Structures are given as structure tokens and as C-alpha cells.
Chain A
Amino acid sequence: MTTASAPVPKFQKRPTPARKVNRAIDDRFGTQGAIRRNFNKVFPDHWSFLIGEIALYSFMILLLTGIYLTLFFDPSNVEIIYNGSYVPLKGVEMSRAYASTLDISFDTRAGLVFRQIHHWAALVFVASIIAHMMRVFFTGAFRKPREVNWLIGIVLLMLALVEGFAGYSLPDDLLSGTGLRIAASIAQSIPVIGTWTSFLVFNGEFPGENFIPRLYVVHILLVPGILLALIGAHLGILWHQKHTDFPGPGKTEHNVVGHRVFPVFAVKSGGFFMLTFAVLALLGGLAQINPIWTFGPYDPAKVSSASQPDWYIGFLDGSTRLMPPWEFRGLGHTIPAVLWPTAVLPGVLFTLAALYPFLEAKFTGDKASHNLLQRPREAPTRTAIGAMSLSFYLVLFISGGNDIIAHTFSISLNAMTWAGRIGLIVVPPIAYVVTKRLCISLNERDAEIAHHGIETGIIRQLANGEFVEDHRPKPPPVSDYPQVPTDRIPLPAGAADGAHGKGLAHRAGKAVGGFFTEETEKPAGDAPVGGGSKH
């Protein structure tokens, strides 16, 4: 590859246990070639490419904490009398699901903190999926050849919402039950098949007698299994197609410039996982989430004011709040108003999102493959469509909590609702126009700098009296990697001694071998690593 001119290093291969194991496996399965090839894979460096990893790591934390919770949760509708250590509910009749959630919270070692980490991780999981989706959208990373990964991403997002809602509904507290009651109503609102759909899901009339076990299977087996498989496919396709990158010196449509998986990218990713875990653990340990003991056990006759779904379902709550009560009756059927904001609207939104790569290709006529990203300003129409969609979503999202916002800021709830209704129609077009103008202006400014240079602020008067401002030419773009490491050379023993001394650090450095080798670059500084599609 790129090692032609560098001196071939001589590795002192110590027979460490890791090397022995690796040799043993390689002797039997012939894995060394694949390991070498994949360890040498290059990933581009940009902070925004790491957002998807937040979702991945939150998902892993969800699996780990979820496994712990399954040890103690009892998914059962059977009614019992609570006799645990939470005094204000002693003697109250409740389902075993709710009672076991109380036991996890109050009578299980580390149960509450695991529950809270699990819940915070779920909220951050969906948030990071949407942030990742925004990054992919606004940089045009979904374009050919990556449409399939975009589609998988949309399915992942939808499944994440389903999974989150299932988890929210499992503890069988007042909030869960209220959410399920609404879900049952949404199912019933579908014309012709609605009632049967609801009966199928709840095994009869809401709330049914064995719904929680069903939901439990969906939450801990079915959806996570599909999520895991699709995440595997998502990453596998990414691995195969290679990551996109922003244009820059030395970057072309046919190469990848960045760091190899091992060691730099692997260490960074490992650290990132730890930091994600740290942030979620801090939230889980310091901030109370879903205090089910306050809401009490579910009873269809009770409801709490300001009952909201978790934030990622909030936009549907908002659309329901904004929808006028338009009920259609005729042809022997009733179509309730709730059908439009809760079933039709998300269907339309997710369909449009899934089809977007194909729609864009159709309308722009751009059928080429793209491995280089665009800055948002370089595609003003796409960026404007994105801003329009986001503003539409945000109006719905804010309306989902409009009662709490109204109460907190002493605004009339009716005013909030009407502001949402009008805002939903007025704000998105404004966002479209403003964003598009902004992108075009930024492009014009870029073009001006390219043609005339950068303003210096120095005004000169010419002999004929004319004033002119001096411009200096834009400096040529600097490579992201002036010293791209192309090969690894073991640290000379003397230098290591000088740098680290003979102490603990030195011994630790020797113990982890390759991590502490010095990396020098090829003489030609600008050459990208891993040119070509061989990686």
C-alpha cells in the first residue's frame, strides 16, 4: 500500500498471552488476514460522524441495564395487595408488574439506579438517532449508494419509538395505563379494522387480562432482536460501503482519509463508550426519572393532569392536541378526529422521510454515486426542506407539552393551542424561505471570497481620489492531516526510557505494547492513508 518508501520496521515480538491466543486462533481458523484487513480500515475524522455512535452505545447500555431489570421485573396482570417498603402505597391493590417495579425501585440493590439509567438511556438513544439522522440528511450522506442504509435507519427510528413506548407502558402505573388507553383508542380509530386491531392487541376489551406479558415479549425479545439485527446490517453496510467524508485536500470520491480502526479509532470508540456510560450513569444517579410511585397503580377510572408520553412520542401528542374535533360519519362508519393526527400523520411523515433519497434523486436528476458530503449551504433546497420539516416537527413537539408550558409561563392554554395551530401552518414555510435565502447568501459570500479574496480592512485612496479596499487572496486550503501516520515504528528503547523513566508508567507502556509506539509519517505529508477502495 503506502509503505513503499518507509523503512520496514523490525518488531520485537514478545510472546505475550494475547499474541499466543491470537496465534492459536489463527493456526486453526485462519483469521489473521481478516483481522489485519479490518484493523487497517480507515475511518474519516469529523466530530459529527460520531453522533451515530451515541445511539449505538446508548443501545448497548440499554441492553446491559435491561438484562439486570429483567431479573427482578414480573410481567403479570395479576392483582395483589402491595406490602413493600413504600409506605404510602401499603395495602393498595395493584398488578404484580407495578408491585415488582416498586420493589425494583425500593427493595432491590441498585434497582432504582439501573431503572433510571435504563430510562435516561432510552431518551438519549432516540435523541441521538434523530441527531444522527439530521447530520446524515443535511450533509447529503443518504445519497446513492447509501439509500438502503437510510431506509434501515428510518426503520430503526420507528422501532426505537415502538420499543420506547413499550418500555414506558410496562410498569403499569397510572401514566403507562393512560398511554395504553390512548394507544387502544388510536387502534380503534382506524376505519373498518380498528376494533379488531384493538381486540387483537389487547386480547379483547382494553385493558385486557394478559396484555403485560405480551408487551413484555415485544419489549425484551421481539423489538430488541430486530433492532440488534438491523443495527448489525446498518454497520455492516457502513463497513462495506465505507464512511463518507467532507471534501478537502487529498480527498476524492474514491478514497478515505483518516485514522485506522486500530489503534486510534478503536481507542477513541472505547473511550466514547465509557463517556456515554458515564453521562447516562450521572443522569441516572442524579436526576429522578419516571417516579412511578407518585403516579400510583393504573386504574381506568383515574387520570392525572399533564399526562404526557416520553418526549419522542410527544410530537404525536402535540398533533392530537392541535387537531380540531372533526369527526366524519357516513357510509356506515365513523372516522374519529384522532385518526388523522395519530395514525395518518406519522404514516405520511415516515413515508416521506423514507422516500426522500429517491425523491431527491428524481427531482434533481442526480443519479451518480457520492462518497463526498456536501455542506448544508451547498444544497439550499434540501437544507430548506430539512429546516421546514424540523420546524413542523418542533411546533408539534412543543404543542405536546403545551399544558405544562402554559402553566409554567402563565399563558392561557387556549392561546397555546391556537398558537400551535397557526404556527403549524405558518412557521414551516417561513423556515423554508429563510433557510434557503441564508444558504444562497452564504454561497454568494463564498464565491465572492474566492473571486476577490478576503477583506483586509485597509482603505487606500488612489491618485484620482477613488477609495478602494485591499483584499488579500484566500490562502490555499490546509490539509486536515499534514502528518498522516502511514506506518508504525516501535519506539526506540532509549527514547522510551528518556520519556517515561523506569517507573510504573514505563512498565504500563510496555505492557500494552503497540499503543505506545511512536508514529511517524511518510515524507510526502499530504498523501492520504488508505487511498482507493481496497479498504
Chain B
Amino acid sequence: MTTSKASESAASSSAGAAGRPRLVSRRNARRSRSASVRRRRRSSSIVLLLGLLATGVMWTVLAPGGNATETPDANEAVRQGRALFAQGCATCHGLNAQGSSEGPSLIGVGAAAVDFQMSTGRMPLAAPAAQADRKDPLYSETQIDQVEAYIQSLGGGPEDPDLTDADLNDADLAEGGELFLANCAQCHQAAGAGAPLTYGKFAPSLSQATADQVVEAMRTGPESMPVFGPGQINEEEAVAVAAYVRHLQDAPAPGGASIGKYGPVPEGLVAIVIGLGALLGVCLWIGARQKL
């Protein structure tokens, strides 16, 4: 009993002793926290002010003056490009190139995509179909450059490669050929003559593709074409492929008339129509009954 009472009283006394200081300390804590918050607010606002000040100083020192003096043309090109875009492209791609139900967003597609689509005449679209076909470009090179600048300014993306003849002449043709046969020929055919895909889509003939357009198509993957990024095919290899495509276009056919470049199908047609046809004509000539 006594022990239990003693323990009870001890417990209660200890509880009373512990309870009071706890209350005090809570009050103190509340008071001290609000002080620290006040202090912190004050310091962060100072930091913010300093930051803003620094940004402002840096902006005034660096940004506007530098850009304005260095590339006045770029801004002009973007402005012109935006005007051209609003006139010729915005109907489908949206006023801010954000895309619509009629056309995809162009933010981040890059100058390469713009140059490919516009210089091959695919854009602006002649008519909605399974796939846009190559036609004469509607815009001049300068205008295309301006639209490129505008689209590039929106969200970056693959740049226009601007290959020179020297780049192509230095490229490894054999490597380009191997890459072409491994990556391109299964749709574009070994001689780049083009072939159909499903439901009216097709891999177009490469007979008119310029080296720039070849690289742009690889980097941007227009229509049904997959993207061949720099991780798969590096810059040098891409140029080699473009050089091989140029070789396919320019190389003379050593064996005479290159009938269609498809191999067996046009060859069979020629063999039957011209070869057998001519020999049946010979039959008629030799086999004609003569008056003796």
C-alpha cells in the first residue's frame, strides 16, 4: 500500500513538475518561432532584392545590348518568318505554331524539319491525302530561311545541316552505301527508286532529294519515316549516306539504259514486250510465205 501510494504521489508530483515547465516552454517556443520567421522573411526578401538587382544589372549590362548589336538580321528573320507563318501555315498549325486538329505542333521540330518540308514542296500541303508528295517549292530560299528562323526561335530542334560539295566529296562512299542498304533500302529500295507502304503511303523516290534534304529527313523523320538521330547515325555517317544518295542519282548506268532501277519487274517487261516482241516480229518476217 505505502509503496503504491508513494509511487502514486511520486507519479503525480512528477507529473505536476513536468507539466508546468512544458507549458512554459511551449509558450516560449511559439514566441521564438514567430521571431525566427520574421527574421527569415526579412533576410529572404533581402536576398530576393539582391537577386533582382543583380539580374537587372546583368540584363542591362549584357542581354539587350549584345543581341541587338550582334544579330539584328536574326530578329528581323524571325519577324519576317512569323509573318510568313501567319499567312501560309497558321491555318493548320495554329497562330503560335501550337498545332490544331488539322496539323501538328511545330514547337521543337527545328529548322531542319521546316527546310525539308518547304524546300521539297510538301508544305504547304496541296491537298490532304495519305501522304504529301514532292512538288516544286512555293517559297523562295530566303523565305524558307525566315520561317526556319521563326520555328527555331520557338523551341529549338535539329538545325539545317547546310552541307557543301566538299563535305560530300570527302565522305566515305562505301560506308554510306552500307548504311544506306542497312537502314534505307528496305523502304526506299536499293537504288533509291522508292516503294509503296501501306494504304497509299509510300517511301518516295530519292532521285531529286538534295544532300541537305536527305540529312534533314534522317534527323526529323517526316511522314512515316523513323528518326535517325545522332545517336544512331552520327554526323559523318549521315553525310556519307547523303553522298551515297547523290552517287545513286548521278552515277551513269554502266550497262546502258537504266530501265526503272527496280531490277526484275521492268526487266521482265522489256524482255517480254521488246525482246520477245521483236523476235515474234522476226518470226512473222521469216515465216511469211513467199511467192516462189
Asked whether B272 lies within 8 Å of A305 as measured between CB atoms, the reply is no
Q: Number of contacting residues on B, CB 8 A?
A: 64
Expressed in whole angstroms, the Cα–Cα distance for A480 and B253 within the complex equals 49
Please provide the chain A residues from 106 to 130 with a CB less than 8 Å away from any CB of chain B in the complex. 106, 112, 116, 119-120, 123-124, 127-128
Smallest CB-CB separation from A168: which chain B residue?
B264
Partner of B186, one of A127, A296, A305, A310: A305
Chain A residues with CB below 8 A from B259, complex form: 287-288
Chain A residues with CB below 8 A from B271, complex form: 120, 123-124, 127, 283, 311
Smallest CB-CB separation from A401: which chain B residue?
B265
Smallest CB-CB separation from A127: which chain B residue?
B276
Asked whether A288 lies within 8 Å of B255 as measured between CB atoms, the reply is yes
Expressed in whole angstroms, the Cα–Cα distance for A13 and B200 within the complex equals 77
Question: 20 other contacts beyond A90-B173, A112-B255, A175-B263, with CB at 8 A cut-off?
Answer: A46-B287, A50-B286, A87-B174, A90-B174, A106-B254, A124-B275, A127-B276, A275-B279, A287-B259, A291-B191, A296-B181, A304-B181, A304-B186, A308-B265, A404-B262, A412-B198, A412-B199, A413-B197, A480-B289, A484-B292
Please provide the chain B residues from 247 to 292 with a CB less than 8 Å away from any CB of chain A in the complex. 247-248, 251, 253-272, 274-276, 278-280, 282-284, 286-289, 291-292
Chain A residues with CB below 8 A from B83, complex form: none
Chain A residues with CB below 8 A from B199, complex form: 412-414
Asked whether A519 lies within 8 Å of B257 as measured between CB atoms, the reply is no
Chain B residues with CB below 8 A from A46, complex form: 287
Asked whether A404 lies within 8 Å of B265 as measured between CB atoms, the reply is yes
Chain A residues with CB below 8 A from B203, complex form: 305
Chain B residues with CB below 8 A from A288, complex form: 253-259
Q: Does B116 belong to the interface (CB within 8 Å)? A: no
* Contact surface of B with A, Cβ cutoff 8 Å: 130, 173-174, 176-178, 181-182, 185-191, 193-200, 202-203, 244, 247-248, 251, 253-272, 274-276, 278-280, 282-284, 286-289, 291-292
**Interface residues on chain A, size class:** 35 or more
Q: Does A147 belong to the interface (CB within 8 Å)? A: no
Please provide the chain A residues from 511 to 535 with a CB less than 8 Å away from any CB of chain B in the complex. 519, 521
Looking at A119, A290, A308, A407, the one whose CB has the most chain B CB atoms below 10 A away is A407
Please provide the chain A residues from 87 to 102 with a CB less than 8 Å away from any CB of chain B in the complex. 87-92
Output the least CB separation between B40 and chain A (Å).
Answer: 65
Q: Would you give the 0/1 interface string for A4-37, flagging 1 where the beta carbon is closer than 8 Å to chain B?
A: 0000000000000000000000000000000000
- Nearest 7 A/B pairs, CB to CB: A311-B268, A47-B287, A288-B255, A123-B271, A305-B195, A304-B190, A401-B265
Smallest CB-CB separation from B264: which chain A residue?
A308
Output the least CB separation between A53 and chain B (Å).
Answer: 8
A54 and B196 in contact, given A92-B174, A280-B275 (Cβ under 8 angstroms): no
